[in-house]
Amino acid sequence: MRVSSYLKLSIAVALATMALKTGAWWVTDSVSLLSDALESLVNLAGAMFALAMVTVAARPPDEDHPYGHHKAEYFSSGFEGVLIFAAALAIIWAAVSRLITPQPLQDLGLGLLLSVLSSVLNWALAFSMMKKARAVRSVALEGDARHLYTDVWTSGGVVIGLLAATATGWWWLDPALAIGVALNILREGAGLIKRSAAGLMDAALEPEVQASIQRVLDGFEHPAIRFDHVATRRAGQRRFVSLHMHMPPAWSLGRAAALRTNVEQALMDAVPGLRATIQLLPSDAEVATATEEEPL
């Protein structure tokens, strides 16, 4: 199933879980279940925005974007992080007044049943989405899956806490749990924003991927061939590496180009989806590179 199909499914599940959790809050008047419902609203908005950004990222390169639109996925992750912050503040606002004046809850059994059903839906979708995200390296899909996992854990905490409140009569546990949920999703939102910023700033490839690239280059090196100025970056689902390949000045252009093709193919075989840019240089040539920007 395509990434966009998973996100469409995520929208449908978000609508279903939001209805279940809103129903749970409605019958119980629990502020912690209200916080859970608000997080489902964030899931819905995040999935819709992620679908839009994945659609943009899939566009082919054009005159204004010759390197493609792959970074659009990072906007999705950042946007969802901002939504999480907004939801957390709303949860805290609603919980503080109830913390000051706690009150008993109603029809808790039905409310908790609805909450558990919504969590089962979210967990099943999150598990499937995370597996697909890792297979295709989709930042938008992974962000949505991580948020769903957070939703499952927070829902579980709310259910356990409300059961404890019922057993002890400590109704202040309800708003306290809501604040705990808010703090937890604030942490998740900060992580999503951090990942989004790292991607937009051309972060290097993962250390294990860089090690795979280096192993390929080591296999081609000998006294007449060497590589330097290896630089990597990632943009959405795409991975890039650029480097210099030095060879004897007496080699013909055809021979040099043939070797470069072999190196590029080996790199792409070792790292699926990699785009390699190799500059050919004679072995006695060095290229100066800027190491520091001039101050503004």
At 107-133, the pLDDT tens digits run 778 888 888 898 898 898 888 888 887
Q: What is the pLDDT of residue 157?
A: 75
Cβ 49 vs Cβ 11: under 8 Å:
no
Give the CA distances from residue 168 to residues 31, 171, 173, 274, in Å, rounded to whole numbers and listed in that order.
18, 8, 10, 58
Confidence band of 296 (pLDDT split at 50, 70, 90): very low
Q: What is the pLDDT of residue 77?
A: 66
CA distance 287 to 275: 22
What global pTM score does this model have?
0.57
Confidence band of 288 (pLDDT split at 50, 70, 90): low
Listed in order, the ranges of the chain carrying CATH 1.20.1510.10 are 3-200
The string of DSSP letters for the chain reads: --HHHHHHHHHHHHHHHHHHHHHHHHHH--HHHHHHHHHHHHHHHHHHHHHHHHHHHTSPP-SS-TT-STTHHHHHHHHHHHHHHHHHHHHHHHHHHHHHS----SSHHHHHHHHHHHHHHHHHHHHHHHHHHHHHT-HHHHHHHHHHHHHHHHHHHHHHHHHHHHHH--TTHHHHHHHHHHHHHHHHHHHHHHHHHHHHTTPPPPHHHHHHHHHHHHHH-BTTBEEEEEEEEEETTEEEEEEEEEE-TTS-HHHHHHHHHHHHHHHHHHSTTEEEEEEEEETT-------SPPP-
Confidence band of 15 (pLDDT split at 50, 70, 90): confident
263/36: higher pLDDT: 263
At 230-258, the pLDDT tens digits run 998 876 667 889 999 998 988 998 999 99
Q: What is the pLDDT of residue 234?
A: 77
Homologous superfamily, domain 3-200: Cation efflux protein transmembrane domain (1.20.1510.10)
At 207-224, the pLDDT tens digits run 888 999 999 999 998 888
Listed in order, the ranges of the chain carrying CATH 3.30.70.1350 are 207-282
Mean pLDDT, to the nearest integer, of 263-281? 89
Whether the predicted pLDDT of 293 surpasses 60:
no
Homologous superfamily, domain 207-282: Cation efflux protein, cytoplasmic domain (3.30.70.1350)
